[in-house]
Structure 1
Amino acid sequence: MDPLDLARWQFAITTVYHFLFVPLTIGLSGLVAAYQTAWLRTRDERWLRVSTFLGRLFVINVAIGVVTGIVQEFQFGMAWSDYARFVGDVFGAPLAVEGLLAFFLESTFLGLWMFGRGRLPDAVHTACIWLVHVGTLFSAYFILAANSFMQHPVGYHYDPVTGRAEMTDFAAVLLNKVQLVTFPHVLLSAWLTSAGFVLGIGLWHLARTRAAAAAGRPDAVADHRAYRGAVRTAAWVMLVAGLGVSVSGDLQGKVMTEVQPMKMAAAEALYDTQSSAPFSAFTLGTPDGSREVFSVRVPRLLSFLATGSPSGQVQGIHQLQERYRAAYGQDPGARYYSPGDYTPVIPVTYWTFRLMIGLGALASLIGAVVLWATRRGRTPTGRWVLPAAVALPLLPLLANTAGWVFTEMGRQPWAVFGLMTTAQAVSPSVSTVEVLVSLVTFTLLYGVLAVVELRLLLDHVRRGLDPLDPGEPPARTPGGADGAADREADAEDAGADLALAF
């Protein structure tokens, strides 16, 4: 393997690993803020206990996420110096704003929130965690603006003397059409992921405390009531966010088809231009990926996803190859590709596109099942509960990962679409040994961090809620068979379902 191969593996490993923490950071900050706001408005102790419990998990996630994120910046100078030199004027601006504004906002108010409980007024303390959430939104927006430039370069001028892309319109970079559809899609995906995380943990604890709560133990009853509130609200967030992900993803697909038609063609392995193109839910092809052997298709769905019309025309890989050769020349500048080959790796784009959709839809479906199974004071007891509790935190994370792999791999062989290929972006002076050493070092370090992260998270998840405040009055036992108990259970469900509205 040469430095380019190793540099790509290194960037892929560190980026995918770091992105595991990003959606949880964005979404959990919002959920913790919402639960704490529900407590501030209602003074119901269960919401404070839930927000405190989830806040600990959020802080653990932020700590590891910050460490892994710093490595991303180092890599631009280590392995991708030609890329940094070419787009530094454009790429650096949104990243600088992210560091100076967003990260400062997050870190400052996270510290105030962590150490200000009992020292700051309740309203001010709650405002601090909301400002942390706002900081994560700013951070995501500016980073995605930089990434969107790689997908669809705008607001720049190429200087042939320096060989650099120079920014001419910062507003155009921030309002890139790719950015405007990508940001809501990523944000909704983050809320879906964090809701699945909370729902899985709450569902496990809900089943665990059921017997003790039914026996009437006051502490178990209070815990059961709090976990039930977390489960119901997280399930609602999951359903709403899942619907939003579907709508924003549909809009993103249409913009992607407009600016990167090869990516959409690769997502379907569509080799020839076709009107009323079907979408294949499952396909088996030849080993080289050049011909289909078997598929299960939904008529006209690809045309609708790509163009908004069931009869719309979707350009094929072969026709786009000719178009790109005429526009960019016969050599894409990538050592992996034959002359004139501007096609990404088809099996990767095809299956990550479907994994992204399928895993996200499955997570939302499980959330709907949990919401139905917990109605009117019920506690799920079937054999499906434990597998669902384990799957709910993982499925959205895997869907997010598949989506990012599709987004970045589908752009290949381009580092910046139409301007610079990945092979042209690698550092010219870096050696195979240097990249290999850093790759092994980062991989081992990240392996250690993964063990630390999982150990901390699992320990705190098993510990659960803090003990009930001795001054808190005993909670009601979950609904029983009589009408009054049913009405109490209905009221509990309504309170949980509407708590986040506060």
Structure 2
Amino acid sequence: MEFDIVTLSRLQFAMTALYHFLFVPLTLGLSVILAIMETVYVMTGRVIWRQMTKFWGTLFGINFAMGVATGIVMEFQFGMNWSYYSHYVGDVFGAPLAIEGLMAFFLEATFVGLFFFGWDRLSKVGHLIVTWLVAAGSNFSALWILIANGWMQNPVGSAFNPQTMRMEVTDFFQVVFNPVAQAKFVHTVSAGYVTASFFVLGVSAWYILKSRHIDLAKRSMTVAASFGLASALSVVVLGDESGYLSTEHQKMKLAAIEAMWETEPAPAAFTVFGFPDSEARETHFAVRVPWVMGLIGTRSLNTEIPGIAELVEHAETRIRNGIVAYDALQQIRASTNPSALTPEIRNTFEDNGRDLGYALLLKRYVDDPRQATDEQIAMAAADTVPNVPLLFWSFRIMVGLGVFFILMMGVFFVLSARRHLDRYPVLLKLAVLAIPLPWVAAEMGWIVAESGRQPWTIEGVLPTAVGVSNLGASTVLMTIIGFAVLYTVLIIIEMILMLKAIGHGPDPDTSPDAKLISENIVPAE
């Protein structure tokens, strides 16, 4: 690997994003679980549910604070490390990013404060509304950042302006209702719900194994198993929708995930196992299931999924068209009197402008794409193939864990329905050990989504190598080291605080309802 400015900038953003995403899924899922628990408390008046809400709320608060702290850095990186990217697409990308910042750092934080300090100052219903607003704020925050990310995967509702050399919004509603963004949102949020469910399940299982806080643990496990099973099933369904959209908008990503080197007759087979070899362009020891990939990717029996070789040839054609657009663009830019430009030049750019980004792939090899040789064009076309083994295995780890999550939550759902949660210590120990697995699956999903888009920052529009800031490699390397140290310290602090809160357990409830129960004025159940 060459540690140039592009590689180092990508490494820094990947590192900070992976760190940040350790906190996001738990925040998304716990916020909804808290709202469910408090709803039961308000409806039944049972104090145990208030105690559960406050206990899991403490863990939510610790995680939320760390998520905000690590998320701020990511937004500043667009200006620090990706300044040309920010200039090129800021008119489109900036709006949802700004709304996400308002959602996360103002709206959501306000309701989080009311959640913690409003227990004895708000009515039951008033505090319940606040808790649901915390959940809504967390999820809306994720919605806007995924709208921004979805536009990077499928840049709709925008057009390139040759006069300003920027992408500009043409239809904001297309940006917001981008099908790729919507699919990513529901898939990501559901994954967060699974993460929180496994966290609650595992911690509660640990309490039962230690014979501590049994009532709280059993009720928490019931909520986690029910919510987690529904979420795990929805992740699979929504993941299938994301795969289908990739067939339409990101064909190379889908081909790389499947290690489909050549186009196969429809319907294509799904490779369950194998060892992709990028040099030989084949998959060794492949175990395939007929028809499955065709059904998933196209939802038909007669539609082909193009292979990597065919897509590279298509990319080469688009690069050559992009060179024509680049030449027309330079003539437009050089003209001192835009109204004097001939219609032929404008028409040439309009006819080939959608392939301009492919010409920019040549910037890695030559300053002026018009001077590129056939060999350089072929090399740039080959660059459109992402890291196939990385995507192949990341996707299969994610899918394998998803199947495990469904089975695990299904078992605990049945046990909770039969009130047998404390009868199988082996399953309880497995629940404790399985706590980190949803994070592994989430990180694998992030790798598939972002590595699969390479070499593009904006799919088909702006190559990653063009979007970086003009910084020294040593400068970026120093910030990588600094962020790695800082984020590692934050994670250690998070773990210490979490373990301390779990070890301490729920605080005794001092609410008026609890006092009445303790004085035998009202029954506990």
- TM-score, normalised to structure 2's length? 0.84
Q: In structure 1, the residue corresponding to 2:424 is in which secondary structure?
A: coil
In the alignment, the residues of structure 2 paired with residue 472 and residue 236 of structure 1 have an alpha-carbon distance, to the nearest angstrom, of 31
**Which residue of the partner structure matches residue 405 of structure 1?**
447
**Which residue of the partner structure matches residue 382 of structure 1?**
425
In the alignment, the residues of structure 2 paired with residue 436 and residue 20 of structure 1 have an alpha-carbon distance, to the nearest angstrom, of 23
The answer to whether 1:234 aligns with 2:224 is yes
**Which residue of the partner structure matches residue 440 of structure 1?**
481
Mapped contact 1:284–1:295 kept (Cα < 8 A)? yes
Matches within 5 A, 1:172-191: 172-191=174-193
Q: 1:345 aligns with which of 387, 394, 398?
A: 387
In the alignment, the residues of structure 1 paired with residue 364 and residue 203 of structure 2 have an alpha-carbon distance, to the nearest angstrom, of 46
In the alignment, the residues of structure 2 paired with residue 288 and residue 462 of structure 1 have an alpha-carbon distance, to the nearest angstrom, of 52
Instruction: Specify the code of the residue in structure 2 equivalent to 1:69.
Output: G
Q: Number of residues paired by the alignment?
A: 461
Matches within 5 A, 1:186-197: 186-197=188-199
Mapped contact 1:374–1:380 kept (Cα < 8 A)? no
In the alignment, the residues of structure 1 paired with residue 515 and residue 472 of structure 2 have an alpha-carbon distance, to the nearest angstrom, of 65
In the alignment, the residues of structure 1 paired with residue 32 and residue 412 of structure 2 have an alpha-carbon distance, to the nearest angstrom, of 22
Mapped contact 2:277–2:284 kept (Cα < 8 A)? yes
Matches within 5 A, 1:112-151: 112-151=114-153
| Structure number, greater radius of gyration | 2
Structure 1 residues 254 and 199 mapped into 2: Cα distance closer, same or farther (>3 Å)?
A: same
Instruction: Specify the code of the residue in structure 1 equivalent to 2:139.
Output: L
Give unpaired runs (5+ residues) of structure 1: 210-219, 475-494, 496-502
Bigger CA drift: 94-103 or 352-361? 94-103
Deviation at 1:4, TM superposition (A): 1.0
**Which residue of the partner structure matches residue 22 of structure 2?**
20
Deviation at 1:160, TM superposition (A): 1.2
Bigger CA drift: 309-318 or 148-157? 309-318
Bigger CA drift: 89-98 or 358-367? 358-367
Q: In structure 2, the residue corresponding to 1:313 is in which secondary structure?
A: coil
Deviation at 1:183, TM superposition (A): 1.5
Deviation at 1:43, TM superposition (A): 0.8
Deviation at 1:151, TM superposition (A): 0.4
In the alignment, the residues of structure 1 paired with residue 364 and residue 84 of structure 2 have an alpha-carbon distance, to the nearest angstrom, of 16
Give unpaired runs (5+ residues) of structure 2: 321-357, 366-377, 519-524
Percent of aligned pairs with the same residue? 40
Mapped contact 2:229–2:413 kept (Cα < 8 A)? no
**Which residue of the partner structure matches residue 4 of structure 1?**
6
The answer to whether 1:293 aligns with 2:293 is no
**Which residue of the partner structure matches residue 261 of structure 1?**
251
Mapped contact 1:334–1:421 kept (Cα < 8 A)? no
Mapped contact 1:300–1:311 kept (Cα < 8 A)? no
Deviation at 1:269, TM superposition (A): 0.4
Mapped contact 2:244–2:298 kept (Cα < 8 A)? yes
**Which residue of the partner structure matches residue 308 of structure 2?**
317
Deviation at 1:240, TM superposition (A): 0.6
In the alignment, the residues of structure 2 paired with residue 311 and residue 373 of structure 1 have an alpha-carbon distance, to the nearest angstrom, of 44
Matches within 5 A, 1:31-70: 31-70=33-72
Deviation at 1:108, TM superposition (A): 0.8
Mapped contact 2:180–2:242 kept (Cα < 8 A)? yes
The answer to whether 1:355 aligns with 2:346 is no
- TM-score, normalised to structure 1's length? 0.88
Structure 1 residues 380 and 328 mapped into 2: Cα distance closer, same or farther (>3 Å)?
A: farther
Cα deviation digits, residues 48-107 of structure 1 (max 9, x gap): 111111000000001000010000011111111111110100000111122234542201
Q: In structure 1, the residue corresponding to 2:273 is in which secondary structure?
A: strand
Instruction: Specify the code of the residue in structure 1 equivalent to 2:284.
Output: V
Mapped contact 2:209–2:425 kept (Cα < 8 A)? no
Q: In structure 2, the residue corresponding to 1:157 is in which secondary structure?
A: strand
Mapped contact 2:262–2:306 kept (Cα < 8 A)? yes
Structure 1 residues 333 and 25 mapped into 2: Cα distance closer, same or farther (>3 Å)?
A: farther
In the alignment, the residues of structure 1 paired with residue 125 and residue 427 of structure 2 have an alpha-carbon distance, to the nearest angstrom, of 40
Structure 1 residues 404 and 472 mapped into 2: Cα distance closer, same or farther (>3 Å)?
A: farther
**Which residue of the partner structure matches residue 499 of structure 2?**
458
Matches within 5 A, 1:242-281: 242-274=232-264, 275-281=266-272
In the alignment, the residues of structure 2 paired with residue 265 and residue 334 of structure 1 have an alpha-carbon distance, to the nearest angstrom, of 25
Bigger CA drift: 288-297 or 344-353? 288-297
Q: In structure 2, the residue corresponding to 1:280 is in which secondary structure?
A: strand
Q: In structure 2, the residue corresponding to 1:246 is in which secondary structure?
A: helix
Deviation at 1:373, TM superposition (A): 3.6
Q: In structure 1, the residue corresponding to 2:95 is in which secondary structure?
A: helix
Deviation at 1:40, TM superposition (A): 0.8
**Which residue of the partner structure matches residue 283 of structure 1?**
274
**Which residue of the partner structure matches residue 413 of structure 2?**
371
In the alignment, the residues of structure 1 paired with residue 415 and residue 122 of structure 2 have an alpha-carbon distance, to the nearest angstrom, of 40
In the alignment, the residues of structure 2 paired with residue 260 and residue 287 of structure 1 have an alpha-carbon distance, to the nearest angstrom, of 19
In the alignment, the residues of structure 2 paired with residue 131 and residue 295 of structure 1 have an alpha-carbon distance, to the nearest angstrom, of 49
Deviation at 1:280, TM superposition (A): 1.3
Mapped contact 1:3–1:431 kept (Cα < 8 A)? yes
Mapped contact 2:6–2:465 kept (Cα < 8 A)? yes
In the alignment, the residues of structure 1 paired with residue 120 and residue 319 of structure 2 have an alpha-carbon distance, to the nearest angstrom, of 62
Mapped contact 1:196–1:238 kept (Cα < 8 A)? yes
In the alignment, the residues of structure 1 paired with residue 156 and residue 244 of structure 2 have an alpha-carbon distance, to the nearest angstrom, of 18
In the alignment, the residues of structure 2 paired with residue 307 and residue 112 of structure 1 have an alpha-carbon distance, to the nearest angstrom, of 47
In the alignment, the residues of structure 2 paired with residue 6 and residue 22 of structure 1 have an alpha-carbon distance, to the nearest angstrom, of 24
Deviation at 1:180, TM superposition (A): 2.2
Structure 1 residues 430 and 320 mapped into 2: Cα distance closer, same or farther (>3 Å)?
A: same
Mapped contact 1:277–1:311 kept (Cα < 8 A)? no
- What is the RMSD of the two structures over their aligned residues, measured on CA atoms? 1.9
**Which residue of the partner structure matches residue 500 of structure 1?**
none
Structure 1 residues 110 and 169 mapped into 2: Cα distance closer, same or farther (>3 Å)?
A: same
In the alignment, the residues of structure 1 paired with residue 425 and residue 193 of structure 2 have an alpha-carbon distance, to the nearest angstrom, of 27
Deviation at 1:161, TM superposition (A): 2.1
In the alignment, the residues of structure 2 paired with residue 311 and residue 408 of structure 1 have an alpha-carbon distance, to the nearest angstrom, of 29
**Which residue of the partner structure matches residue 92 of structure 2?**
90
Deviation at 1:129, TM superposition (A): 1.4
Bigger CA drift: 359-368 or 58-67? 359-368
Deviation at 1:142, TM superposition (A): 0.9
Instruction: Specify the code of the residue in structure 2 equivalent to 1:445.
Output: L
Deviation at 1:339, TM superposition (A): 3.0
In the alignment, the residues of structure 2 paired with residue 459 and residue 335 of structure 1 have an alpha-carbon distance, to the nearest angstrom, of 51
Q: In structure 1, the residue corresponding to 2:159 is in which secondary structure?
A: strand
